[in-house]
Chain A
């Protein structure tokens, strides 16, 4: 899976860090999302999907492997 985030629209709720701390972090100066890895390992996929579902600003997207060209 490939993860994409939009820092411009992030509201720093922290929901993604709580869901998948191995994949998401927050900037020190304003809590805005930082992507630690674009392609997280399979065992973190559910956590990442939860982060996507819970993000209140809807700025996290996941491209599933099946959709690869």
Chain B
């Protein structure tokens, strides 16, 4: 590994601390204090990861956008200095890369086979289906006992039902794929656990692709199966893509719903505004702002520099504290659902920016415009410090959210 000079920043004097850093007690919505300090004082500086490696960490909004759009940085998880998130995530990315961990032209070839289903038009056409799912789950909650765990009763089922419909995966199998996903997105998962969970999911998706080959339907996995039949896609690539979309399709939005609800309950004025305004524009703006404010993909984007870039780095991580950069978001630690936050980097930036973002917008739009209106007295029966936050997960959020009304 080269010693890397960093013109403009005095990198060697910045302390190399362990990454990720802990959030401050009592501030579950704010990034770790150590990251604010870096953003202000050493915006591109080294950190130490679980395996002892010391990649660069970029913390400013503009630096992140510049780096993530730079063709000289690679997303290829098989490269030697790729900054993996832990032994489990490393094992998963070795066994099943999918296009998220590839570079062009392979990345573009595979991504384009999945993009049609996530176009703005297609996702808008799903809105009535999503509304029906949301209303049905609220009916069930209202008819049941309270308090209830919002995560299990609502936040997880909404995106899970939607992605199952879109992919053509039977929702009846949700316990199976949800528990394996949970293993894979935990930072502390061991290699063995990750290998077994990845294999189970690949086998499952491969079986489903097989079913679609025999009995094509109007869903995304059938589209991929058709590509397999045409010889444009290998069966393994199809299963990898299916697995990526299945995991990404429910873990993320589930946390936007549960953590977003908790954040709004902590900001009653914002919640009241959202509940009382029937304006779809304000709802859309609230979703962008919560995407920025919560930044649930909280442990950053990982890349490898293929050649020296400005800062001369070799391995680079861009952390999403960029969404709290005061240079781009005035008063960045304030939740303000009326602000224009559309330029946030919660979906990343560059060619790997979230493929499912239209769906990841419409789902919370439907939820935020429905849940608080239908349950206007929604409240927490416990204190904030009684809530289990997902500090150890690659996607931040809450493991449970008891609610009552």
Contact = CB atoms under 8 A, between A and B. Distances in A.
Interface of A: 9, 11-15, 17-19, 21, 26, 28-32, 50, 53-54, 56-58
A18 B69 CA distance: 20
B111 interface: yes
A69 B188 CA distance: 60
A11 B353 contact: yes
A54 to B, nearest CB: 6
B350 interface: yes
Contact of A17 (B120, B351, B355): B120
Interface string B247-288: 000000000000000000000000000000000000000000
22 contacts: A12-B119, A13-B347, A13-B353, A13-B355, A14-B119, A14-B357, A15-B353, A18-B120, A18-B358, A21-B120, A26-B121, A29-B116, A30-B112, A30-B113, A31-B115, A31-B116, A31-B118, A54-B342, A56-B68, A56-B350, A56-B353, A57-B351
Nearest to A18: B120
B108 interface: yes
Indicate the size class of the contact surface on chain B.
20 to 34
Nearest to B112: A30
B349 A53 contact: no
Nearest to A50: B342
6 tightest A-B contacts by CB?
A56-B353, A31-B115, A12-B115, A31-B119, A17-B120, A26-B119
A53 to B, nearest CB: 7
B351 A11 contact: yes
Interface of B: 68-69, 108, 111-113, 115-116, 118-121, 342-343, 347-355, 357-358, 361
A23 to B, nearest CB: 13
Nearest to B354: A13
Contacts of B347: 13, 56
Contacts of B353: 11, 13, 15, 56-57
A47 to B, nearest CB: 11
B51 to A, nearest CB: 29
Given A12-B112, A57-B69, 5 more contacts: A11-B352, A14-B119, A26-B120, A28-B119, A57-B353
B302 to A, nearest CB: 17
A57 B116 CA distance: 17
A39 B3 CA distance: 50
Contacts of A28: 116, 119
Contacts of A58: 69
A20 to B, nearest CB: 12
Contact of A56 (B348, B358, B361): B348
A56 B120 contact: no
A56 B349 contact: yes
Nearest to A56: B353
